């Protein structure tokens, strides 16, 4: 990253010409190749992004060849720079192939260029595959280039001492995403090291807060009260909410930062690779969501009301899927003991029939949504989909969907009958016959016990590893202490020797020591 950073700093110091000397091009091509190879691994890819790799690489797309008097040499340099851009696009495309990075890339390029970027394919090592991207990028207007440059600045990972923006006691480090309702940033408490996700919502959004001053005030109060309720939730499979506050023209919501990808992005990635989600992974996600829903339904008396694949976050690591969490309780609502909730909310393909028909509903609305999410994990598409909302709504009310099918032999092994039957139970049209979350837990008790057993084994393994680390650290400290004592003894001996050289009588010291030892005996 240091080599790429040096090149970008050189560009920043000469923004008018955006030129690199010829000798640097080959070095940068090698650097881009190394980053490409590193980006094949998810954790390395995340590290490249954390080191500002996307912005630093992207800025190299802005370079122009240094012009000299020799036209033949100029042509050679131009070809080298265009070749460098192909290397850069390849590295960026490899970074994009990791699901957790994709939202960031959607903001970088104009739609036509982004479509070509997608067409290059995942992990395509052939450099010629990126030639159309280079050609298309070179044809961008000056305004479009400035737009790309600004987008690269937006996704830049802020560094200490670089004029960081602060709001409400948080330091903004990086933009994680931007959508129709606002932006989400990675932030850090001004006093401390803990990182959070900070959602920024514009108060000018009429749909969120209303049009008049009184409506905005009421909307802010309502949302802050919602966050206050959600901050009381404490469960390992639910994203933790911390606080909300207003600052200037925005409302901010601070919540737990989960490094990973949404279930929706993960499923789309599997579809692009021609694979289906392994059943073990489906159960892992399913059990985590069941445990979370059991907590909010039975303990907190809250209905999520918007459970979709985009609101389920998957942390990823060397051991595969892990840290499944429910996120975005933007539509969550506390249920009183006397009032059954009634409103038209949620994302339609995952919305239960009773909400579609504007009938009273309960926490079983989330059970239906869980069935739709499970179906999506199995089939890589929602059970009810289409361009006509009325047609989709009719299918939901009738419970008319294609039964879940096994994947082709090339995409994965068949799914168990238990998983398919569970989907049917969860998606029971009549809410009176639909199981509650406790009944769902009973239906999957075998998988639930297996999951708890794996969790216990993992905890035991982690405890053992932690104990080994603690023992190694203690041994290291003892060794360091012994070395310090030995060094102190050596220094004392050297001092004693120096005293003898200055005319002292070391013999008297030794004799005295022997005498004292003899007396002790």
What pLDDT is recorded for position 505? Answer: 47
Query: Which residues on adjacent β-strands are paired with residue 243?
Result: 254
| Mean of all residue pLDDT scores within the chain | 80
Domains 166-256 and 262-443 share a fold: no
> In the chain, count of helices (H) and strands (E)?
20, 13
Segment 426-453 shows an average pLDDT of 91
CA distance 81 to 351: 52
Domain ranges of the chain: 2-154, 166-256, 262-443
Please write down the HEC assignment for all residues of 278-327: CHHHHHHHHHHHHHHHHHHHHHCCEECCCCCHHHEEEEEECCEEEEEEEC
Give the pLDDT confidence score for residue 447 in this predicted structure: 86
Residue 468 has pLDDT above 90, yes or no: no
pLDDT digits (tens, 9 = 90+) for 317-340: 545 556 899 987 754 444 544 445
**Has residue 134 got a pLDDT over 70?**
yes
What is the CA angle 320-155-216, rounded to 5?
A: 100
Q: Beta 64-65 vs 19-20: how paired, if at all?
A: parallel
In this structure, is the dihedral angle defined by the CA atoms of residues 351, 356, 362 and 367, taken in order, positive or negative? negative
Give the residue numbers marked as catalytic: 306
How does pLDDT run across 287-308, given as a tens digit for each residue? 999 999 999 999 999 898 889 9
Q: What is the pLDDT of residue 283?
A: 94
CA atoms of 65 and 21, how far apart (whole Å): 7
Cβ–Cβ < 8 Å for 148, 140: yes
pLDDT: which is higher, 205 or 234:
234
7-23 pLDDT tens trace: 445 434 444 445 666 66
Residue ranges of the annotated binding site are 199
C-alpha to C-alpha distance for 148 and 133, rounded to whole angstroms: 14
The CATH class of the 262-443 domain is mainly alpha
Whether the model pTM is above 0.75: no
How does pLDDT run across 52-100, given as a tens digit for each residue? 788 888 888 988 765 555 566 567 768 888 899 999 999 999 888 766 6
Q: Render pLDDT for 374-388 as a digit per residue (tens, 0 to 9).
A: 999 999 999 998 888
CATH for 166-256, among 3.40.50.9100, 3.65.10.10, 3.30.200.20, 3.40.640.10?
3.30.200.20
| C-alpha distances in Å from residue 59, one per residue of 36, 89, 361, 450 | 16, 11, 52, 49
Mean pLDDT within 423-444: 96
Q: Which residues are known binding-site members for ATP? A: 199
Structure tokens at 224: 């802050």
């Amino acid at each position: 990253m240091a080599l790429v950073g040096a090149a970008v700093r050189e560009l920043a110091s000469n923004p008018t010409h955006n030129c690199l000397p010829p000798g640097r091009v080959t070095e940068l091509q090698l650097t881009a190749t190394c980053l490409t190879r590193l980006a094949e691994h998810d954790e390395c890819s995340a590290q490249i992004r954390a080191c500002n790799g996307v912005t630093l690489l992207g800025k190299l797309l802005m370079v122009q060849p240094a012009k000299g008097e020799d036209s033949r040499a100029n042509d050679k340099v131009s070809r080298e720079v265009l070749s460098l851009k192909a290397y850069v696009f390849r590295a960026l495309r490899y970074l994009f192939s990791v699901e957790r990075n994709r939202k960031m890339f959607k903001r970088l390029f104009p739609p036509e260029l982004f479509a070509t970027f997608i067409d290059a394919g995942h992990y395509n090592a052939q450099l010629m595959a990126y030639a159309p991207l280079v050609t298309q990028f070179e044809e961008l207007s000056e305004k479009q280039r400035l737009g790309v440059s600004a987008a690269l600045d937006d996704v830049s990972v802020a560094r200490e001492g670089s004029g960081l923006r602060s709001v409400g006691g948080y330091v903004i480090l990086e933009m994680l995403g931007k959508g129709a309702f606002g932006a989400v940033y990675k932030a850090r408490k001004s006093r401390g090291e803990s990182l959070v996700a900070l959602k920024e919502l514009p108060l000018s959004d009429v749909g969120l807060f209303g049009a008049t001053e009184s409506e905005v005030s009421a909307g802010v109060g309502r949302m802050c009260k919602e966050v206050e309720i959600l901050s009381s939730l404490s469960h390992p499979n639910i994203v933790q909410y911390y606080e909300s506050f207003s600052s200037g023209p925005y409302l901010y919501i601070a919540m737990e930062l989960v490094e990973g990808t949404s279930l929706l992005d993960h499923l789309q990635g599997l579809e692009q690779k021609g694979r289906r989600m392994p059943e073990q992974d489906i159960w892992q996600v399913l059990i985590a969501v069941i445990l979370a829903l059991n907590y909010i339904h039975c303990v907190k008396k809250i209905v999520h009301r918007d459970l979709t694949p985009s609101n389920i976050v998957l942390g990823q690591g060397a051991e595969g899927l892990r840290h499944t969490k429910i996120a975005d309780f933007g539509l969550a609502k506390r249920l009183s003991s006397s009032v059954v909730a009634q409103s038209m909310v949620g994302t339609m393909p995952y919305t239960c029939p009773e909400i579609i028909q504007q009938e009273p509903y309960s926490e079983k609305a989330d059970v239906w949504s869980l069935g739709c999410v499970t179906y999506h994990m199995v089939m890589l598409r929602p059970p009810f989909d289409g361009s006509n909302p009325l047609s989709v709504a009719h299918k939901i009310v009738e419970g008319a969907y294609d039964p879940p099918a096994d994947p082709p032999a090339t995409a994965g092994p068949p799914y168990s009958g238990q998983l398919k039957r569970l989907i049917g139970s969860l998606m029971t049209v009549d809410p009176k016959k639909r199981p509650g979350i406790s009944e769902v837990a009973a239906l999957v008790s075998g998988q639930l016990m297996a999951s708890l057993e794996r969790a216990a084994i993992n905890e035991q393994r982690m405890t053992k590893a932690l104990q080994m680390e603690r023992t190694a650290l203690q041994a290291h400290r003892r060794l360091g202490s012994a070395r310090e004592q030995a060094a102190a003894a050596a220094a004392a001996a050297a001092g004693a020797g120096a005293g003898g050289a200055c005319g002292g009588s070391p013999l008297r010291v030794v004799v005295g020591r022997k005498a004292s030892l003899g007396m002790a005996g």
